[in-house]
Each structure stands twice: as C-alpha cells, then as structure tokens.
Structure 1
Amino acid sequence: MPSPTFTVMRLDATPPESIKSQIMQMVIDYVTELSMVAIAPSNPLYPLYQYGVGHEVHQYVQAMDGSRGIAVELIVALDAEDPSIVIGFLLYLPVQQDPQACAVAYMAVQTARRRQGVARTMLEKMTERYPHAELACFVAKVPVFEALGFQVLGARGPQVLMNTREQQTEGLLAVLDIAPIYNSLEVRQIHSYLLKQHGKRAMTDAEKQRDRHIDQLTRQARLFVNGLLGESGADAFIGPRLV
C-alpha cells in the first residue's frame, strides 16, 4: 500500500498561530463554499463575506480556550511530508447533554488535495468520538456526504440537514452570536469602501443578486427534500436546540 500523504490531528485547545493563520487563509480562499449564502467571487459583496465568515471562524477558534463558554473542537489535516502545512480543517461543536453528538460548523480542504480521502478521514476521526454527528450542506454536496455516512433529515433554509442517524440529538448546541460581526464598525467600513469602489447601483444589484441566489437555493433544498422525504421533511426545521 502507498504511504498516506497526510495525517490528521484533533485539537481541543486553541491551535498555535502557524495553524490558525493557515485555517484563516483557507476560509478566505473558500468562502463561497463555507458561507451560508454561497456568495460568488463575482459579487461585489464578496470581500464583506470574506471578512464576516473569517471573523466568525476566528472567534470559534479563539473560543477553544474556554473563554466564551462554548465547546469547540478542531481537527486538522497536515501534509505528511511537511507537517507544518495544513491541507484541511474540520471545526465542530460538541452538543451539551449528549456526549455522543456534535454538529459540524466548518470544513474545508485545499483544492489540490481533494479526492484523496482528507474530508473522509477528518470526519471519521470526529465520529469516532461523536458518532451522532450533524451537518448542513447545499444540495449539490448531498451525494458527497451520503457517501461519507450521512443521511438527509430535512431542509434548513438554503441547505439540506444531514445526520449520521435517523433523528437529531435531544441535546443543546451552544453557538456564537454572529450578529455583532455584521453590525460591526469593520463591516460598515468595508461596505463603505465597496460602495465607493462600485457605486450605489452596483451594490444594490449585488444585494438583490445575493438574495435571489439564496431564494433559489432555498427552493432547491425544499424541492430536493420534498422529493426524498415528502412535504413534512421539506417543511421541518431539524437540528439541535440552540442556546
């Protein structure tokens, strides 16, 4: 058998800066895949979401020191030849009152290292510890996660909710309040800069384009789940209770 080209490592404390900076760069590079709105690079709002999603991931990583009262764990995939290089990461949240359950918050793998089992290995390491795992993805990614052992439970906004089991956990999921990020001075400054760069009309069109895309993804998710589970599945909000 060929030697593995990567190794995976679980972290339950704040990672060193060398790892953290590479994770943040991956968030910036793959924000379209990581954002709930699937913002396109061609959309003038793209830099705003790079900052917003990046800052959210940064806050979750910082919360690993226990200062926010939120349970956060991280798995990183490292290049086998040069373990200083991060080729993928999986950030997930253990569920309160259910020691077997967790929810995936963010996962990314470098484009050049995809289709090599990196995501599968990271998820397997997570489910070794938390076999009752949940995640949300866009319809196009459903077959990928089905192949990794997840099944469709319902629709949640523009995404499809998937789980390793046939039902969601009864536990509580503690998440960060991200509203302050998008109401922050930094976001307002980025928006003002983009407004000057592109003009008011282009920015208004960008917001409409984003909203139309979200509506399209939401309809797509509902239709997909409806075809699979029926109306009750498409209309359900399924997932751990948030605190």
Structure 2
Amino acid sequence: MFTITRLEHTPPESIDSQIMQMVIDYVTDISMVGIAPSNPLYPLYQYGVGHEVHQYLQAMNGSRGFAVELIVALEDEDPSVVAGFVLYLPVQDDPQACAVAYMAVKTGQRRKGVARAMLQKMLERYPHAELACFVGKVPYFEALGFQVLAARGPQVLMNTRDQQTDGLLAVLDIAPIYNSVEVRQIHAYLLKQHGKRAMTDAEKQRDRQLDQMTRQARLFVQQRLSE
C-alpha cells in the first residue's frame, strides 16, 4: 500500500509542496497552539507553522548547522503521492536519540498504519525517540511504545524510554517568523477583515484554550505518573 522512505537531503519540490499543503490543512493537529479553524487567527498560524516546516526542510541541506531528517510514506499505486510524513531532529552527542518535530497523515489514509510504519522506520535508526502531543493522542502513541514523561505546556512529553536523552537538541528559533513583515501583513489584513474587537477576542480565545490545555496536560501527567 505504501513505501516508507527516509530522506536525508532537502526533498524535491513535488514532495515539498505536498508536505506544505498537509501542514496548512492540518495546522490545528500539528501546531502546539491547537488553533481552531473558526478562530480568526487561524491563517496566521497556517503561515507561521508552514514557514517553520519549510525552514526545517530547507535546513536538510546542512545550511543551518544541525541535522534534520524526513520520512515520507508514498502511495504504491502512485509513488508521486505523499500519504504522510515525519520530520524529526537527530540529537547531537547521542547517535541513538531523536525528537519528532512534525508529523501528519492525509485524512483519507489514516487508520491504515501509515504513522506506525513511518515511526517504526525512524525507530530502527533512533530507538530513543521523543515527541510531544495533546492529551487525546497519548493512548495512540502509548500503543506505539511511547511512555509519558512530563507535561510540556499544553502538550504531553512522551519518550520510548523512561528518561530524556542527555544530548543536545538543536531547534529553529521561530521568534523571527512571528516578528516578520509577512506575519505583520497577515495580521493587518485580518484586522481589516474582522475588526479590532473580533481580533482581540480571538487572541483571548486562543489564550484561554492554551491555559485550559496546559492545565489538562499537567493534571493528566500527574495522574498518569502516580498510577
């Protein structure tokens, strides 16, 4: 059904564009903010998270000085079609460890073992793997061999082992993305489209949701670790 392929260099445009489309389509699922499509700020996060993933893909050529790897699931019937991807970061000073940055599977290809196959491919090379997910996804990743370690903001930190790696993990600084001219232009457009009150309400709604998810993650982890 699917061919699972690891890429260690910047993917060709045909794969890159499909990954970027998945990021835009599923930004609610893969963003740490969990922004809802109904929130007027949604397009801003589509751009911000999309730009971050784009930078990671570009960094696969070694230009940023740290390692980025990508696993894609290609449909057997049409190998030009990407069914899913896992973007992950090998840990410096620990050849067995990595951290998942972003992962997505197309809606029509879910519940077919695509994510499991991609993660297994990653774990063959990096058995000490870490990821963060929302509380609702914890049982899924537990079934794949990950265990709960701690709360990290609105998400639950999970690992294939009972401790984090001691190695260093290099990540992109995303602050420049959200301080960029492009984001300011998008915000100005949204402000004009929705009005100041609606945008203020959207920010409050986002912050309330983040607070709620952060409390939920913390309580969930406390309960799970005390069992």
TM range (shorter): over 0.9
Q: Deviations over 1:158-186 (max 9, x none)?
A: 00000000110000000011000000000
State the aligned residue count. 226
Please name the residue that 2:181 is paired with: 185
Task: Tell me how far 1:211 sits from its aligned partner.
Answer: 0.2
Unaligned runs of 5+ in 2: none
Matched, 1:101 2:113: no
Q: Secondary structure at the match of 1:228?
A: helix
Code of the aligned partner of 2:155? Q
Q: Deviations over 1:119-151 (max 9, x none)?
A: 000000000000000000000000000001100
Task: Tell me how far 1:216 sits from its aligned partner.
Answer: 0.4
Task: Tell me how far 1:7 sits from its aligned partner.
Answer: 1.0
Q: Distance in 2 between matches of 1:22 and 1:103?
A: 22
Q: Distance in 2 between matches of 1:176 and 1:167?
A: 23
Q: Secondary structure at the match of 2:11?
A: coil
Q: Deviations over 1:36-92 (max 9, x none)?
A: 110000000000000000000000000000001021000000011000000100000
Q: Distance in 1 between matches of 2:179 and 2:32?
A: 17
1:59-78 equivalences in 2 (<5 Å) = 59-78=55-74
Please name the residue that 1:12 is paired with: 8
Code of the aligned partner of 1:183? N
Q: Percent identity?
A: 83
Code of the aligned partner of 1:148? L
Q: Which runs of 4+ in 1 moved over 3 A?
A: none
Code of the aligned partner of 1:191? H
Task: Tell me how far 1:191 sits from its aligned partner.
Answer: 0.1
Task: Tell me how far 1:223 sits from its aligned partner.
Answer: 0.5
Q: Deviations over 1:164-218 (max 9, x none)?
A: 0011000000001100000000000000000000000000000000000000000
1:163-174 equivalences in 2 (<5 Å) = 163-174=159-170
The TM-score, its normalising length taken from structure 2, stands at 0.99
Q: Distance in 2 between matches of 1:84 and 1:16?
A: 11
Q: Secondary structure at the match of 2:36?
A: coil
- Which residue of the other structure, out of 25, 42, 45, is the alignment partner of 1:49? 45
Matched, 1:115 2:72: no
Q: Distance in 2 between matches of 1:211 and 1:147?
A: 31
Please name the residue that 1:218 is paired with: 214
Matched, 1:145 2:141: yes
Task: Tell me how far 1:228 sits from its aligned partner.
Answer: 1.2
Q: Distance in 2 between matches of 1:34 and 1:113?
A: 17
Matched, 1:209 2:205: yes
Report the RMSD for the aligned CA atoms in angstroms. 0.4
Q: Distance in 1 between matches of 2:59 and 2:181?
A: 22
